[in-house]
Amino acid sequence: MAFKVPKAGDTETNSGNFFIETLRQLLALRSAKTFVVDESELKHAGVLVPLLLEDEIWKVLLTRRNRQVSHHKGQVSFPGGAVDREDQTYEETALRETFEEIGLAGNQVELLGRMDDIRTVASRFIIHPFVGHIFECNRFILNREEVDNILKIPLAFFFKTFSHEEKCSVTYEGNIYETAAYRYHEDLIWGATAGIMKNLAQIIGDKIDLLQGKK
């Protein structure tokens, strides 16, 4: 039986704690799939899958990258980026890059767990995604050298019952890729980003009822 997503201000669930704790448990009860590769073959990146409760709807925050960045120009993606030598863990990479891109500090995010690694479609990266709960943020400070805008999309949009997931051919920088994709208004979410959201929808399944967030 599906759980009901708590609304902000519910005394019984303490403003969404039930949702967060359920998701934390779902992530903890599974073993994330990882890739073991030669460092010379692929690069590693850590990304944050940020969730926030806004207008009583759980949303996922994504960024629209600008055309000046080295990788994934113009794509809709998660905040995050390539691992630096100073980074001790992939979680550290995800949080550091998130702060650099959108001004969200690590003490404003509660990490809930790790998802499956995924390879990018159009570049030679392995992405290590981590789900995080944004529990405090009045505004985002965008690094305009990397990010054009942020998108807040209802989490329920990515669930099969009412999402617009499709398999399509995407032409990017002169190459054609066959990939899963979600079309949200004017934005096409494809490649590794679409794969990560599909993975999250599979993890949650029918354990949490997201119908109230399908707007």
Residue of higher predicted confidence among 138 and 24: 24
Is residue 57 assigned to a domain? yes
Query: Which tokens sit at 11?
Result: 């005394």
| Residue 20 maps to a domain | yes
**Burial readout 134-157 (b: 16 or more C-beta within 10 A, e: otherwise):** beeeeeeebbeebbeebeebbbbb
Domain that includes residue 119, residue range: 3-156
Rounded CA Rg of the chain: 17
Residue 200: inside a domain:
no
Q: What is the pLDDT of residue 65?
A: 84
Give pLDDT, residue 123.
Answer: 75
Report the C-alpha gap between 11 and 7 in whole angstroms.
9
CB 148, CB 156: distance < 8 Å: no
193 domain-assigned: no
- Return d(Cα 93, Cα 83) in angstroms, integer: 6
Residue pLDDT, tens place only, 31-47: 999 877 665 678 899 99
Average the pLDDT over each of 156-160, 183-187, 207-211 and give the range with the smallest value. Answer: 207-211
What's the pLDDT tens digit per position in 52-72? 999 889 999 999 987 665 554
Q: How confident is the model at residue 9 (pLDDT cuts 50, 70, 90)?
A: very low
DSSP 100: H
* Tokens encoding 115: 């998802």
Kindly state whether residue 77 falls inside one of the protein's structural domains: yes
Residue 113 lies in a domain: yes
Predicted local distance difference test score (pLDDT) of residue 56? 86
Residue 187 lies in a domain: no
pLDDT of 210 above 80: no
Percent of the chain at pLDDT > 90 equals: 51
Q: Let me know if residue 22 belongs to a domain.
A: yes
How many distinct structural domains can be found in the chain? Answer: 1
Question: What's this model's pTM, rounded to 2 decimal places?
Answer: 0.84
In this predicted model, what pLDDT tens digit does every residue of 12-29 receive, in sequence order?
444 468 889 999 999 999
Q: For residues 158 and 67, is the Cβ–Cβ distance under 8 A?
A: no
Q: Is the pLDDT of residue 7 over 70?
A: no
Q: What's the token pair of residue 114?
A: 């790790």
pLDDT of residue 10: 44
144/2: higher pLDDT: 144
pLDDT at 51 over 70: yes
According to the model, what pLDDT value does residue 99 have?
Answer: 96
Domain CATH for 16: 3.90.79.10
Please give the sequence-ordered ranges of beta strands (E in DSSP) within the chain, or none if there are none: 3-4, 43-54, 57-65, 76-77, 80-82, 109-114, 118-119, 125-134, 147-154, 165-172, 175-184, 187-190, 208-209
Average pLDDT, the chain: 82
